[in-house]
């Protein structure tokens, strides 16, 4: 390893939280609706600060202090309560690992570095970007495009790059040669050597504050007073000791294949081979505790282009029988030509599908149901979608909207994770970061039948805005027995100007219950729904 890249994400935990729906203040610092963010961890019933946003840091909040102390330091004049959240180190680690896999599109070897950074071996990569300065600029711009604050540096060693990324000057982020490392690290604090707190305190007791002062001490005198870690960190920073990298590995998709000794034209033989491949695929998915969402079958034909069949499932599955039922009708329609030389199955998209314990009668246990209702529904949707088409099998999703006609939307039933954003901006695709969001709906009574188009009616009311006395609808005059309302419903401010509708629940003499509304701006009355 000749060239090392270090990425430092100073507010990683805070900005990971902010990306879930927070905002930034006027200076661009992370906050939630103008509120400082504090991440805490609980130790023996005490809440200790783990991370704080820049707004809180400027007020004096530091890690390891108590939450009560941090609250006292925040300016009370603004009367803004801080946003306090529990720190989840496991999710931070998972997020950094995902970010490392994402960064592999720019450099081949990337590893997670502590709780707030990444390290990469970029030996030989500079020529692809026409220089290390262009490589550094590209990586920093792309990471910043994800909404993350990043500092980065390139040096001949990981230790030097780590120190420069966290404590170095922004003008000196690239070190060309190893003999330049001592001069570049000379004025940096001793924390840049990645030492433990005990060693740092011991060095500060004798007046050593910078890396240059540590390097000025004769090497023979250091082991007598300090641990061997100090010498190791110095050697790693200067390139005298080897420092390995354990890069993240992207998991290869599950792939199984069956090569024939010669072209096969018998459909039954091809189906038997495909059945055995499905069993092998299911076994490999079981070992990974995963299920397939998209499956691709490839038939390599003699002197002809390969045939590719793709299955899209509504739910992850590793049931070979279910996959076979979806695949056989399409496989029977394939033109085998002069014969098939090989069959390949590829799990294009898979998700985690944990084991599920089932009872066994021989063990004296009551047998658990073979499949849950959710699995049965998924099998039905898969069967209908592959027979009729995914665009013809729809389901109704609820939308957070006040107006009744916008509260429901039809989406493909094959996409189980799709849901609607507030006020039906869009149906978000599978894999969205807001997956699993529960849509809030009103608890008020709503009509059992909603008309596709509101019908105009003539209303006689005591006052222009109600209550309703008589309704003329479809040529008939109906006297009102009971009237409840109004209930004001309005659209979103970005859709329409100020206005809305005043809804009334009206019961007429014949016993029917109507849902009427008056347009606030125009004053016209309409019938929108009926109760059964």
Output the DSSP codes for 411-430. EETT-TT-EE-GGGS-EEPT
Do 44 and 98 sit in the same domain of this protein? no
- Which of the residue ranges 239-253, 289-303, 496-510 has the most confident prediction, judged by mean pLDDT? 289-303
Confidence of residue 85 (pLDDT cuts 50, 70, 90): confident
Which whole-number Å values give the CA distances from 470 to 238, 259, 482, in the listed order?
Answer: 91, 79, 11
Where do the H-state alpha helices sit in 257-389? Answer: 267-288, 320-331, 373-388
Question: What value does the mean pLDDT take over residues 125-148?
Answer: 89
Residue 442: inside a domain: no
Do 103 and 228 sit in the same domain of this protein? yes
Residue 433: inside a domain: no
Residue 382: inside a domain: no
Q: Which CATH number do you get for residue 62? A: 3.40.1170
Last residue of a domain, one of 60, 87, 114: 87
- Under DSSP, the state recorded for 390 is G
Task: Give the C-alpha separation, 133 to 61, whole Å.
Answer: 35
Residue 249: inside a domain: no
Task: Give the C-alpha separation, 204 to 221, whole Å.
Answer: 16
Phi–psi pair at 237, nearest 5 degrees: -70, -35
Confidence of residue 439 (pLDDT cuts 50, 70, 90): low
DSSP line for 22-72: -EE-TTS-EEBTTB-EEEEEEETTEEEEEEE-HHHHHTT--TTSBHHHHHH
Do 400 and 463 sit in the same domain of this protein? no
Q: What whole-number percentage of the chain has pLDDT above 90?
A: 16
Do 459 and 342 sit in the same domain of this protein? no
Task: Give the C-alpha separation, 374 to 314, whole Å.
Answer: 11
Residue 27: inside a domain: yes
pLDDT of residue 370: 47
- Under DSSP, the state recorded for 210 is B
Q: What is the helix (H) or strand (E) element at residue 441, kind and residue range?
A: none
Question: What value does the mean pLDDT take over residues 396-414?
Answer: 75
> At CA 177, angle to CA 176 and CA 181, rounded to 5?
100
Q: What is the helix (H) or strand (E) element at residue 8, kind and residue range?
A: strand 4-8
- Which of the residue ranges 132-141, 219-228, 492-501 has the most confident prediction, judged by mean pLDDT? 132-141
Residue with tokens 């300016």: 75
Do 412 and 513 sit in the same domain of this protein? no
pTM over 0.85: no
Confidence of residue 189 (pLDDT cuts 50, 70, 90): very high
Take residue 136 and report the two structure tokens written for it.
């550094």
pLDDT in tens, 4-43: 999 998 888 877 766 544 444 444 444 545 578 888 888 8
Instruction: Kindly compute the dihedral angle of the four CA atoms of residues 217, 220, 224, 227, in this order, to the nearest 10 degrees.
Output: 80
Using DSSP's 3-state secondary structure scheme, residue 115 falls into coil
Do 96 and 232 sit in the same domain of this protein? yes
Question: What value does the mean pLDDT take over residues 201-224?
Answer: 88
Do 120 and 231 sit in the same domain of this protein? yes
Do 466 and 416 sit in the same domain of this protein? no
Residue with tokens 């450099």: 107
Confidence of residue 499 (pLDDT cuts 50, 70, 90): low
pLDDT of residue 256: 92
Do 96 and 233 sit in the same domain of this protein? yes
Last residue of a domain, one of 62, 87, 112: 87
Contact, 5 vs 154, CB < 8 A? yes
Residue 331: inside a domain: yes
Contact, 505 vs 484, CB < 8 A? yes
Do 70 and 47 sit in the same domain of this protein? yes
Residue 467, preceding bond cis, omega within 30 degrees? yes
pLDDT of residue 379: 78
Residue 365: inside a domain: no
Do 232 and 164 sit in the same domain of this protein? yes
pLDDT of residue 366: 46
Task: Give the C-alpha separation, 117 to 123, whole Å.
Answer: 19
Contact, 193 vs 201, CB < 8 A? no
Contact, 299 vs 339, CB < 8 A? no
Do 418 and 480 sit in the same domain of this protein? no
pLDDT in tens, 54-70: 888 888 888 888 988 98
Residue 3: inside a domain: no
Q: What is the mean pLDDT of the chain?
A: 81
pLDDT of residue 276: 92
Task: Give the C-alpha separation, 387 to 329, whole Å.
Answer: 9
Last residue of a domain, one of 87, 106, 128: 87
Residue 304 lies in domain: 255-352
Q: For residue 169, count CB atoms less than 10 angstroms from its CB and return exposed for 0-12, middle for 13-18, buried for 19 or more.
A: exposed
Select from 256, 263, 269, 275 the least CA-distant residue to 327: 275
**Number of structural domains found in the chain:** 5
Which whole-number Å values give the CA distances from 233 to 213, 227, 385, in the listed order?
Answer: 15, 11, 60
Task: Give the C-alpha separation, 331 to 337, whole Å.
Answer: 13
Backbone Cα Rg of the chain = 33
């Amino acid at each position: 390893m000749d060239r090392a890249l270090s990425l430092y994400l100073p507010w990683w935990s805070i900005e990971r939280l902010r990306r879930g729906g927070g905002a930034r203040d006027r200076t661009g610092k992370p906050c939630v609706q103008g509120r400082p963010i504090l991440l805490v961890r609980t130790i023996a019933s005490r809440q200790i600060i783990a991370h704080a946003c820049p707004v809180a840091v400027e007020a004096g909040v530091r890690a390891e202090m108590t939450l009560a102390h941090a609250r006292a330091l925040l300016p009370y004049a603004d009367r803004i309560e801080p946003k306090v959240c529990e720190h989840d180190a496991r999710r931070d680690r998972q997020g950094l690992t995902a970010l490392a896999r994402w960064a592999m599109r720019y450099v081949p070897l990337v590893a997670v570095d502590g709780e707030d950074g990444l390290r990469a071996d970029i030996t030989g990569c500079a020529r692809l970007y026409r220089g290390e300065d262009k490589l550094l600029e590209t990586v920093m711009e792309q990471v910043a495009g994800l909404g993350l604050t990043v500092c980065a540096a390139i040096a001949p060693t990981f230790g030097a790059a780590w120190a420069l990324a966290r404590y170095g000057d922004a003008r000196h982020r690239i070190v060309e040669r190893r003999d330049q490392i001592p001069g570049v690290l000379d004025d940096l604090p001793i924390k840049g050597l990645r030492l433990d707190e005990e060693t740092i305190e011991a060095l500060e007791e004798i007046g050593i504050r910078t890396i240059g002062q540590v390097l000025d001490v004769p090497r023979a005198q250091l082991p007598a007073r300090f641990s061997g870690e100090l010498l190791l960190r110095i050697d790693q920073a200067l390139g005298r000791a080897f420092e390995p990298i354990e890069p993240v590995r992207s998991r290869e998709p599950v792939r199984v294949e069956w090569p024939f000794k010669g072209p096969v034209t018998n459909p039954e033989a091809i189906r038997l081979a495909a059945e055995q491949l499905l069993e092998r695929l299911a076994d490999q998915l079981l070992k990974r505790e995963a299920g397939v969402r998209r499956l691709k079958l490839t038939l390599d034909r003699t002197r002809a282009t390969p045939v590719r069949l793709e299955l899209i499932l509504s739910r992850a599955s590793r049931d070979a029988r279910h996959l076979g039922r979806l695949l056989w009708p399409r496989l029977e329609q394939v033109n085998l030509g002069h014969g098939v030389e090989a069959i390949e199955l590829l799990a294009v998209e898979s998700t985690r599908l944990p084991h599920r314990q089932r009872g066994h009668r021989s063990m004296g246990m009551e047998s658990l149901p073979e499949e849950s209702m959710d699995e049965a529904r998924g099998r039905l949707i898969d069967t209908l979608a592959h027979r009729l088409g995914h665009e013809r099998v729809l389901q109704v999703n609820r939308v957070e909207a006040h107006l009744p006609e916008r509260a429901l939307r039809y989406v493909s039933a094959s996409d189980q994770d799709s849901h609607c954003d507030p006020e039906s901006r869009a149906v978000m695709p599978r894999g969205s970061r807001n997956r699993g969001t529960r849509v809030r709906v009103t608890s008020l009574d709503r009509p059992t039948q909603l008309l596709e188009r509101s019908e105009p009616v003539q209303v006689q009311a005591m006052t222009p805005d109600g209550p309703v006395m008589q309704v003329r609808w479809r040529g008939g005059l109906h006297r009102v027995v009971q009237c409840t309302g109004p209930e004001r419903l309005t659209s979103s401010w970005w859709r329409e100007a100020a206005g809305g509708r005043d809804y009334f629940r009206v019961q007429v003499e014949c016993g029917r219950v109507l849902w009427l509304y008056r347009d606030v701006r125009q004053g016209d009355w309409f019938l929108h729904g009926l109760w059964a």
